[in-house]
C-alpha cells in the first residue's frame, strides 16, 4: 500500500503488539516505543537503522505506553560525558497487573553513538503500584507537569510528575535498574544505579476518581490548565470532567456507550469522543461536545456494528484550507486541526475530519462546570465564544 512502511517485522513467538507511542516533538528524536503481550518493550528511532536500540523484558504483559510531551534535563550516564546535563525523554509503561513503570531515556544521536561507542540508557526511576487490575489508559498534561492513569479497576489517578521523578534514596526501595546500550545498538545489559527506584503506593496520588467501569480514555485540556476529561467503559458510559487542583467533578455527559478515546480541539472549546459498544444501541461512533456547556455539536454514524477502538489526532495535512463537497454543501477544513485517525474493530484505520466550518449544532446534555461559579472564576473560563483566539 502506498505510503505504508514496515518498521518492525515482529517476533517469531505468538505474542502480539499491544501499544505504541512516539516520543516528544520537543525532543526531536522520533523514538517509537512499542510493547507486546509477552512483556517485551522495544524502542527504535526513525532516524536510526530501524532496528530497536533497546529491547527490555517487563515482568508482565504490557498494556499501554506513553511519553512525556516535554524533555527533561538530567546528568548524562555516558561514561565519556558523565554528569553533563543532557536532554532526556520520560516514558511510562502500564501492564496487565496494574503496575506503572516510569523510565528516563537518554537517546544520543547516531553521530554521537559513532563518536563515543555508547548508544544511550534507559533507567527505571519509579514504580507505581496503586491499581489492582490492568492499566487501560495513560496520559500526560500538555506541559508534562502531571499525568493520569486509568485502570480496569474503575479507577483514574492523577500524579504530579516532579513528585514521582524526584530522586529517592530510601533504603526500603529497590536498587535502580539501568539498561545500557553499547555501540552494537542491541547489546543491552543491566547495571545497578546510585539511586533507588521509588515505590509509589496507594495514597501517593494527588487525586483518585472512581468510575462505574474501566477508564481508558483520558485527555488533559490543552488550552485550559486544571481541566481533565475521562471516559468510562460499558457500565459507566459517561464523559467526566474534573478540576485537577481541587479534584472536583465539574460536569458529566452521558453518551450511552463505552468511551474509548477523548481528544480536545486545539482551536475550539470542544472535545471529540469515540465510542465502543453502545447501550442502548445507536450508530454513532464519534461525537463532538462543546465546553463548558457540554452540548453535542456533531455526531458521526458508522455503518454496521463496528466499534471505534481508539483514536489519535493527526496534526498534518495541507497548510491551507481546501473545500470539498459532501451532501451538496461546501465543507472547509480547519487547517490547524488536522483530523482524527480512528482504529476500528473491522481491522481498518479511518480518517475523520470532524472540525469543519459547517458543523451543525444539535441537542445534547446540559452542564456548566458542575454549576460552580467559583470554579468558573478560578479557572478563568468565559462562557461566550466557541473559537480559541
Per-residue pLDDT of the chain (389 residues; tens, 9 = 90+): 555 666 666 665 788 999 999 999 999 999 999 999 999 999 999 998 778 999 999 999 999 999 999 999 999 999 999 889 999 999 999 999 999 999 999 999 999 999 999 999 999 999 999 999 999 999 999 999 999 999 999 999 999 999 999 976 654 545 555 666 544 444 444 444 556 789 999 999 999 999 999 999 999 999 999 999 999 999 999 999 999 999 999 999 999 999 999 999 998 999 999 999 998 888 999 999 999 999 999 999 998 889 999 999 987 654 444 544 444 444 455 556 778 999 999 999 999 988 865 554 333 333 333 333 333 433 443 443 344 43
Question: Quick one: pLDDT at residue 384?
Answer: 39
Write the DSSP assignment of 47-82 as a string of letters. TTTSS-SEEEE-SS-EEEEEE-SS-EEEE---TTST
d(CA 70, CA 72): 7
Question: Quick one: pLDDT at residue 383?
Answer: 41
- Answer yes or no: is 72 within a domain: yes
- Answer yes or no: is 191 within a domain: yes
Question: Quick one: pLDDT at residue 363?
Answer: 32
- Answer yes or no: is 331 within a domain: no
- Answer yes or no: is 248 within a domain: no
> Is 370 exposed, middle or buried, given 0-12, 13-18 or 19+ CB atoms closer than 10 A?
middle
Question: Quick one: pLDDT at residue 186?
Answer: 43
Boundaries of domain holding 181: 14-210
- Answer yes or no: is 18 within a domain: yes
Predicted TM-score (pTM) of this structure? 0.84
- Answer yes or no: is 389 within a domain: no
Which residues, 6+ apart, have CB-to-CB distance to 87 below 8 Å? 27, 71, 72, 73
Question: Quick one: pLDDT at residue 315?
Answer: 78
Question: Quick one: pLDDT at residue 11?
Answer: 61
- Answer yes or no: is 99 within a domain: yes
Tell me if residue 306 falls in helix, strand or coil.
Answer: coil
- Answer yes or no: is 309 within a domain: no
Instruction: Count up the domains in the chain and report the number.
Output: 1
Amino acid at each position: 500500500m502506498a505510503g505504508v512502511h514496515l518498521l518492525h517485522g515482529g517476533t517469531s513467538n505468538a505474542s502480539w503488539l499491544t501499544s505504541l507511542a512516539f516520543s516528544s516533538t520537543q525532543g526531536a528524536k522520533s523514538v517509537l516505543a512499542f510493547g507486546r503481550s509477552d512483556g517485551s518493550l522495544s524502542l527504535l528511532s526513525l532516524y536510526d537503522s530501524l532496528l530497536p536500540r533497546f529491547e527490555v523484558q517487563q515482568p508482565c504483559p504490557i498494556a499501554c505506553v506513553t511519553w512525556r510531551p516535554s524533555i527533561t534535563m538530567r546528568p548524562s550516564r555516558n561514561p565519556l560525558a558523565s554528569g553533563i546535563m543532557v536532554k532526556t525523554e520520560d516514558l511510562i509503561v502500564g501492564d496487565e497487573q496494574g503496575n506503572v513503570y516510569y523510565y528516563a531515556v537518554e537517546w544520543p544521536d547516531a553521530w554521537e553513538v559513532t563518536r563515543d561507542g555508547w548508544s544511550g540508557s534507559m533507567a527505571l526511576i519509579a514504580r507505581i503500584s496503586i491499581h489492582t487490575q490492568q492499566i487501560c489508559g495513560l496520559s500526560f498534561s500538555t506541559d508534562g507537569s502531571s499525568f493520569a492513569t486509568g485502570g480496569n479497576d474503575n479507577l483514574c489517578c492523577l500524579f504530579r510528575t516532579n513528585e514521582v521523578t524526584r530522586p529517592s534514596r530510601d533504603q526500603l526501595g529497590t536498587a535502580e535498574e539501568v539498561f545500557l546500550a553499547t555501540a552494537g545498538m542491541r547489546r543491552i545489559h543491566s547495571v545497578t544505579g546510585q539511586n533507588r527506584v521509588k515505590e509509589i503506593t496507594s495514597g501517593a496520588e494527588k487525586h483518585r476518581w472512581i468510575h462505574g467501569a474501566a477508564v481508558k480514555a483520558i485527555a488533559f485540556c490543552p488550552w485550559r490548565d486544571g481541566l481533565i476529561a475521562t471516559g468510562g467503559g460499558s457500565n459507566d458510559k459517561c464523559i467526566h470532567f474534573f478540576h485537577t487542583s481541587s479534584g472536583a467533578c465539574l460536569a458529566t455527559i452521558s453518551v450511552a456507550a463505552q468511551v474509548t478515546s477523548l481528544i480536545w480541539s486545539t482551536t475550539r472549546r470542544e472535545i471529540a469522543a469515540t465510542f465502543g459498544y453502545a447501550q442502548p444501541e445507536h450508530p454513532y461512533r464519534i461525537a463532538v461536545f462543546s465546553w463548558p456547556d457540554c452540548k453535542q455539536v456533531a455526531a458521526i454514524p458508522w455503518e454496521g456494528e463496528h466499534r471505534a477502538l481508539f483514536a489519535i489526532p493527526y496534526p498534518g495535512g495541507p497548510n491551507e484550507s481546501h473545500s470539498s463537497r459532501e451532501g451538496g454543501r461546501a465543507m472547509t477544513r480547519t487547517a490547524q486541526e488536522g483530523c482524527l485517525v480512528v482504529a476500528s474493530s473491522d481491522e481498518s484505520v479511518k480518517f475523520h475530519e470532524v472540525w469543519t466550518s459547517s458543523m451543525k449544532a444539535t441537542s445534547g446534555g446540559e452542564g456548566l462546570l458542575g454549576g460552580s461559579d467559583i470554579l468558573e472564576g478560578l479557572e478563568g473560563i468565559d462562557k461566550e465564544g466557541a473559537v480559541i483566539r
